[in-house]
A and B are shown apart, each in its own frame.
Chain A
Amino acid sequence: MSHVLPWYVTGPLIGLVVPLLLFFVGKPFGLSSNLRHLCAACLPSRGVDFLRYDWRGESWNLFMMAGIAVGGFLSVTALGHDVSTALPSWATTGPGMIVLALAGVLVGFGTRYAAGCTSGHAIMGVATLQWPSMVAMLCFFAAGVATRFLLMPHLTLWLEGAS
């Protein structure tokens, strides 16, 4: 697969988010927290201690999240980037949508249980030499690689057959 941007442009630009956030916002990089903030802001939190905190104090991150969505929007509209491979071919089939929803549940549940995702652990945590983040990143990849080799061939075959 060919890419518009070379790795030495994409990678450093992603890494620069860390000092930019620290300088201009005074906060560490970490995006999955936004899912918690959205739950705390929008869903019933009565009796759920994990959702009873000052999420408004973290609203900068919700602005960051909104910005990412704007960036995605501009990439397609203003920059004309081709996103035809951005989601699997089965994403719009009935069974495919159920699989995507379940994948999302695993992402949301897993990142909160792990207290971080690719941004908070693999980039922010590893760049600051935090060993729990290194363990987290190894686990992300161990599970991802195992899933890719053991599950995805069967899942893809089944989903493409079902469409």
Chain B
Amino acid sequence: MIRNLSALVIGTVFGAVLTVGDVANWTTMQAMFAFEEAYMFLVLTSAIATAALAVVVIRRFSLRTVDGTAIVLPTKTFTKGTVIGSLIFGIGWAIGGACPGPIFALAGAGLAPALILFGGALAGTYLYARLHSVLPH
């Protein structure tokens, strides 16, 4: 329960940063993919650098979670989907101007078209789930 509450609070702050920071924004995404402004590239680079630095500190000092369990970092495996799926996602991201996080933020902001993106994303996920066993991996 505490974990869920923590996630809710972290999510709330994150959702506000995405929205107020114009990351959850179709126009910002168009400018990013057209290389019209540096903003998003600096945002992403500094986000990755901040996360990487934090992970280095966590590893260096073998830090644990608040309830004392070891922090496990996930290992990502490479499949054909890493390339094919990522390309498909990139197309959708550029057209709709939102990746999953921003879709949730815009839906919460009360923008009705964001619910269409959200519904589409659920449908796409369900389609993948049904085709999972026959797709190349």
Residues of A within 8 A of B (CB): 1, 3-5, 7-32, 34-36, 38-39, 43, 45, 48-51, 59-61, 63-76, 79, 81, 83, 85-88, 91-92, 96-97, 99-119, 121-133, 135-137, 139-149, 151-152, 155
Q: How far is the CA of A153 from the CA of B109 in the complex (A)?
A: 27
Q: In whole Å, how far is A95's beta carbon from the nearest beta carbon of chain B?
A: 12
Q: Quick one: given A68-B18, A70-B11, A122-B48, are A117 and B82 in contact (CB under 8 Å)?
A: no
Residues of B within 8 A of A (CB): 3-35, 37-39, 42-52, 54-55, 57-58, 63, 65-67, 69, 71-79, 81-101, 103-114, 116-130, 132-133, 135
Q: Quick one: given A23-B63, A83-B111, are A115 and B76 in contact (CB under 8 Å)?
A: yes
Verify B86–A136 contact, CB threshold 8 A: yes
Q: How far is the CA of A101 from the CA of B9 in the complex (A)?
A: 29
**A71 is contacted by which of B12, B34, B38, B57 (Cβ under 8 Å)?**
B12
**B86 is contacted by which of A72, A128, A140 (Cβ under 8 Å)?**
A140
**A31 is contacted by which of B45, B73, B101 (Cβ under 8 Å)?**
B101
Q: In whole Å, how far is A136's beta carbon from the nearest beta carbon of chain B?
A: 4
Q: How far is the CA of A93 from the CA of B41 in the complex (A)?
A: 31
Chain A residues with Cβ below 8 Å from B22 are: 1, 3-5, 85-86
Q: What 17 additional pairs, Cβ within 8 angstroms, besides A104-B119, A127-B48, A143-B91?
A: A4-B22, A8-B42, A10-B23, A28-B74, A39-B125, A67-B14, A70-B108, A72-B104, A87-B111, A100-B120, A102-B95, A105-B121, A108-B120, A109-B128, A112-B128, A115-B77, A152-B33
Q: Quick one: given A83-B106, A106-B89, are A127 and B55 in contact (CB under 8 Å)?
A: yes
**B87 is contacted by which of A67, A139, A152 (Cβ under 8 Å)?**
A139
**A141 is contacted by which of B13, B82, B90, B117 (Cβ under 8 Å)?**
B90
Q: How far is the CA of A145 from the CA of B132 in the complex (A)?
A: 27
Verify B90–A143 contact, CB threshold 8 A: yes
Q: How far is the CA of A20 from the CA of B8 in the complex (A)?
A: 12
Q: In whole Å, how far is B85's beta carbon from the nearest beta carbon of chain A?
A: 3
Q: Quick one: given A39-B129, A107-B103, A115-B85, are A86 and B14 in contact (CB under 8 Å)?
A: no
**B89 is contacted by which of A59, A67, A132, A143 (Cβ under 8 Å)?**
A143
Q: In whole Å, how far is B80's beta carbon from the nearest beta carbon of chain A?
A: 9
Q: Can you name 26 A-B residue pairings with CB atoms under 8 Å?
A: A1-B39, A3-B21, A7-B43, A7-B46, A11-B43, A15-B54, A67-B15, A72-B106, A86-B109, A88-B97, A91-B26, A92-B112, A101-B117, A101-B120, A103-B95, A104-B118, A109-B92, A111-B85, A115-B76, A115-B81, A119-B100, A122-B44, A122-B48, A136-B82, A136-B86, A140-B89
